[in-house]
Amino acid sequence: MQFSEVIGQQKIKERLIRSVTDGRISHAQLFLGSEGSGNLSLSLAFAQYITCLDRNDHDSCGVCPSCLKYKKLIHPDLHFVFPVVKTKNNDNPVSDHYIKEWREILLENPYLNLKQWLEKLDSENLQGSIYKNESSEILRKLNLKTYESEFKVMIIWMPEKMQPTTSNKLLKILEEPPPKTLFILVSENTSQILPTILSRTQLVKIPKIDFDSLYNKIKDLYNLSVQELNDIVRLADGNYLKANEIIRESEESEFNFKMFIDLMRSCYGREILKIIAWVEIIAEQGREKQKNFLEYSLRLIRENFILNTGQEKITLLSEKEASFSQKFSLFINSKNVIQISEELNKAYFHIERNGYDKIILLDMALKMVKLLKK
Ligand SMILES: [Zn+2]
């Protein structure tokens, strides 16, 4: 990753570059920044810059042998430590057991947060830790010769997830640092890190991404109006992940709304071919989106029933949903609301348990045909 790929953070980039050109690279640094600020991306860009064979005053070159290896995160002098999970088959996990998955996710999304990482690991309990065996791994790697570059770099992501024994071992290492080794601790929250470790590291405080940089990045990525861009970037509050999440959610709710209308219209009109075409579209979406659609539909059905009973004031509908619901609510009444909700819940239940989605959704739609007729 090059500095140019990191969103905003101009001042930090300049400061890091200056430390290299002045030859004052501190051997242990703590990149502290909130989620979506780019603290991990910056650590990668910094490490790549240090080992680049042809860097300039602004960035690494991106094309030398070292940069090419950094681009794939496979430089032999670049090491990672990150939280991992225990599984049935592995109750002594260390980072290297998951290095393949780690490279994959990091190349795809260098702004990732812990939740996304644990989801990638398919962890059900959503807890991750840097376990005790990691400290001997760290020592082992530090004893390796540097292969290709002057510096060995060890990026420790989320040191706040270190178990106490690991922290204590790391502290010893930081107290007597091996030569030509750079530790970059990348943290979102220092309150769980040993104060003695904090005192051994140089703090690099990464602020939230500034408005203009985030605005321009989002503008390049998505086709949005100025008004939408302003709203999203303001709400995202300097968090790149949050900005993406807001966009995804609004796209998804748009999609859900359209699919809901299509389904209800086709069911009401008993248009079987249209229903089958609808099933094809939603079957392409994957289970998570299907479940979100069903949840969304449950909410709209509930709100429409409330509308039907004449309690307009307590419904929670967007403008578009409300306008559609004015007429649609006439069809959702005490005779069918429970059964319709049950059908949606049932479909949710079966999809969650890996049933065959096309059959489940077609079956649900055909029940709707009947229920909407009552
Ligand atoms: Zn280079």
pLDDT of 26 higher than 90: yes
* CA–centroid distance, residue 74 to ligand 1 (Å): 14
Predicted pLDDT at 30: 97
Give the pLDDT of residue 125: 62
User: 65: CA distance to ligand 1 center in Å?
Assistant: 7
Query: Ligand 1 mean position to 64 CA, how many Å?
Result: 4
Q: Cα(251)–Cα(261) distance, rounded to whole angstroms?
A: 16
Q: Which of 120, 110, 111, 44 lies closest to 84, judged by CA?
A: 120
Q: Which residue has the higher pLDDT, 82 or 311?
A: 82
Distance between Cα 40 and ligand 1 center (Å): 19
Give the 3-state DSSP-derived string for 195-262, with helices as H, strands as E and coil as C: HHHHHHCEEEEECCCCHHHHHHHHHHHCCCCHHHHHHHHHHHCCCHHHHHHHHHHHHHHHHHHHHHHH
Q: Going by DSSP bridges, is the β-strand pair 152-157/202-206 parallel, antiparallel, or unpaired?
A: unpaired
Q: What's the CA-to-centroid distance between 68 and ligand 1, angstroms?
A: 7
State the distance from the centre of ligand 1 to the C-alpha of 45, rounded, in angstroms.
11
From ligand 1's centre to the CA of 139, what distance in Å? 28
Q: How many CB atoms lie within 10 A of CB 223?
A: 6
pLDDT tens digits, 314-338: 778 888 898 999 999 999 999 999 9
pLDDT tier at 27 (50, 70, 90 boundaries)? Answer: very high
Domains of the chain in start order, with CATH, are 3-207 (3.40.50.300), 210-238 (no CATH), 249-373 (1.20.272)
Q: Cβ contacts of residue 215 below 8 Å, gap of 6+?
A: 229, 230, 233
Per-residue pLDDT, 374: 53
Instruction: Concatenate the DSSP letters of all residues of 153-192 into one string.
Output: EEEEE-GGGB-HHHHHHHHHHHHSPPTTEEEEEEES-GGG
- Report the separation in Å between the CA atom of 12 and the middle of ligand 1, taken as the mean of its atom positions: 20
Kindly report, residue by residue over 206-246, the tens digit of the pLDDT. 999 999 999 999 999 999 999 999 999 999 999 999 999 99
pLDDT digits (tens, 9 = 90+) for 278-320: 999 999 998 989 999 999 999 999 999 999 998 877 778 888 8
> How would you classify residue 93: left for phi > 0, otherwise alpha for psi between -120 and 50, otherwise beta?
beta
Give 198 Cα–ligand 1 centroid separation in angstroms.
31
Ligand 1 centroid distance, CA of 112 (Å): 24
